[in-house]
Amino acid sequence: MGILEDMRRIKGDAEWMWVNASILAIDMSLDAQAASSWLPGGMKLLEPARATVFVADYPELTIDVDPYHEVALLLHVRFGWMRAVFNPWILVDDDSALILGRESLGCPKKMGKISLTVEDDHVEASVERKGVQLLEVSGALKGPVHNPPPFFDRHWINVWGLMGLTVQKLLHWRAQEEIHEAQNVDLSISVHGSAKDPIHELKLGEVLEARLYRMNFARTQSRAVPIPIFPVSPRFMLRNYALRHL
């Protein structure tokens, strides 16, 4: 059974695959020169350069994947005519979510320990992998965001395909979403790294914006499918092997 067919093995008649997701999205400045080395050929950072770090809690899914947490780094880029986000680094704490993300969307998922807690008006998040504390976040909710920008319902580009004799490709996708609410967050974030997760190399600095979303996303009957759009040089995979695979 193929991945896309498997994703449509829905429990009951639910319309959304991810339900009541909480997503803490943090826009930050970064070192443009360092980040450019993480991009495939033909892709450029938007100016001024920025990244989004997000930590997510997915408590309810209507596909055959258990609830899980996720943390990822997105670079805001331009590829041809398209303004998009590119995902070079991502962790989850469930192996089914890891397999689904790698095989269907080209997300370079690895396993880690992730927590996101929202109590009253306080938000805490932490990320650990292989004994290294990579992220620590603490903040307070500061009121609603009116007309919040989309999160999943925008252009995403990942690198999809196996290493070896096959040719990796840029994969484009976007997902429909239903935002229940979004709140501004005043927070502090501490970013560390390791040889296997070198996110510190980007020199993530000032917090530009932070929002906490609660939403549903990815419709069960959506006709949108990931589309391969451009081949990727093998040099990209060799240059970013530790970041994506170790």
pLDDT at 164: 66
Q: Which domain holds residue 96?
A: 3-245
pLDDT band, residue 221 (cuts 50/70/90): low
Express as a percent the part of the chain with pLDDT over 90: 78
pLDDT tens-digit map of 187-202: 999 999 999 999 999 9
pLDDT tens-digit map of 70-81: 999 999 999 999
The Cα 174–Cα 162 span in angstroms is 22
Element (H, E) at 245: helix 241-245
* Residue 88 falls in which region: left (phi positive, over 0), alpha (psi -120 to 50) or beta: alpha
pLDDT at 6: 47
User: In this structure, which amino acid lies at residue 158?
Assistant: N
The Cα 21–Cα 60 span in angstroms is 7
Compute how many other C-beta atoms are within 10 angstroms of the C-beta atom of residue 77: 22
DSSP per position, 181-224? EEEEEEEEEEE---SSS-GGGG----EEEEEEEEEEEEETT---
- Domains held by the chain: number: 1
Write the CATH number for 96. 2.40.400.10
Chain Cα centroid distance, residue 89: 8
Residue 170, token pair as written in the block: 């840029």
pLDDT at residue 2 tops 50 = no
The Cα 143–Cα 103 span in angstroms is 38
